[in-house]
């Protein structure tokens, strides 16, 4: 089971090489002058690797792949997003982007809150509430849909991009559904 994340990592790193196109650095796929970026994404809900590749010639359309793990669960998730980039006026290298995509992954163990109510008759009819926290060790397959909204800045004269994004997602796992909010900062090396 530990080989699967390693294999996905290798595939994600090799992906830009398979889809590379013959474009110069100044006329790259993105309006900030780069075609591909590989780096790290750290967020409030999940962190991991990020790979973004601009497709087409100057259209501002990118495909981003995220290989992340959550802080509260042991597991891995692969997310693929299609994004549309727009330059921000008067700021060279700054882009606003939005997009959507999907994800799939597996998690081992859940930590959740069980709201079990125990009522006791006290003086003046008082009621007391007892809450319980539970954890399990099952493996769950999860999949769902994602949205993304962000700002990206290509550092001048350096091959790095700094990005800030908000990525809400809808998750389906073990017959349950959930809506989560994830905000993150990314740093990518561009070429």
Is residue 149 one of the residues assigned to a domain? yes
Reply yes or no on whether the pLDDT at 145 is more than 60: yes
pLDDT at position 116 is 54
Considering the domain boundaries, does residue 168 fall inside one?
Answer: yes
Lowest average pLDDT, out of 96-100, 104-108, 133-137, 168-172, goes to 133-137
CA-based end-to-end distance of the chain:
33
Counted domains in the chain: 1
Per-residue pLDDT averaged across 15-21, rounded? 45
Angle at 45 between CA 40 and CA 51, to 5 degrees: 25
| Residue 161 belongs to a domain | yes
Domain around 145: 27-107+141-190
Q: Look at residue 10 in the predicted model and tell me its pLDDT.
A: 56
Pairwise pLDDT comparison (81 vs 128), residue with the higher score: 81
User: Is residue 136 included in any domain, yes or no?
Assistant: no
pLDDT of residue 126: 56
The token pair at 72 is 């509260």
Enter the tokens of residue 155: 């550092």
- 159-181 mean pLDDT: 91
| 106 or 31, greater pLDDT | 106
Whether 181 is in a domain gets the answer yes
The angle formed by the CA atoms of residues 17, 4 and 38, to the nearest 5 degrees, is 35
Is the confidence at residue 55, as pLDDT, over 80?
yes
> For position 75, what pLDDT does the model report?
85
pLDDT at 99: 98
Residue whose tokens read 């994602």: 146
pTM of the model: 0.72
Residue 4, in any domain of the structure: no
Classify residue 131 by its DSSP letter: -
Distance CA 41, CA 30 (A): 20
Q: What is the mean pLDDT of the chain?
A: 79
Write down the pLDDT at residue 23.
37
**48 within a domain of the structure (yes/no):** yes
CA-based angle 130:136:137, to the nearest 5?
A: 165
Q: What percent of the chain shows pLDDT beyond 90?
A: 46
Residue 36: which pLDDT band, with cuts at 50, 70 and 90?
very high
- Whether pLDDT at 37 is above 90: yes
CATH code of the domain covering residue 161: 2.40.160.20
Lowest mean pLDDT segment, chosen from 50-64, 94-108, 114-128, 165-179:
114-128
* Whole-number Å distance between alpha carbons of 180 and 72: 13
Question: How far apart, in whole angstroms, are the C-alpha atoms of residue 160 and residue 76?
Answer: 26
Q: Is 68 part of a structural domain of the chain?
A: yes
């Amino acid at each position: 089971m530990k080989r699967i994340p390693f294999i996905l990592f290798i595939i994600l790193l090799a992906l830009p090489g398979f889809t590379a196109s013959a474009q110069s650095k100044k006329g790259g796929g993105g309006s900030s002058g780069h075609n591909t970026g590989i780096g790290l994404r750290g967020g409030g809900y999940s962190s991991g690797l990020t790979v973004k590749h601009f497709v087409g010639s100057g259209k501002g359309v990118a495909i981003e792949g995220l290989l992340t793990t959550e802080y509260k669960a042991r597991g891995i998730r692969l997310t693929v997003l299609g994004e549309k980039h727009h330059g921000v006026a008067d700021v060279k290298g700054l882009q606003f982007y939005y997009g959507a995509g999907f994800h799939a992954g597996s998690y081992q163990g859940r930590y959740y809150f069980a709201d079990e109510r125990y009522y006791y008759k006290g003086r003046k009819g008082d009621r007391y509430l007892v809450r319980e926290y539970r954890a399990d060790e099952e493996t769950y397959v999860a999949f769902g849909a994602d949205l993304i909204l962000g700002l990206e800045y290509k550092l001048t004269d350096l091959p790095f991009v700094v990005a800030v994004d908000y990525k809400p997602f809808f998750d389906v796992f073990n017959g349950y559904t959930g809506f989560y909010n994830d905000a993150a900062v990314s740093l990518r090396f561009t070429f």
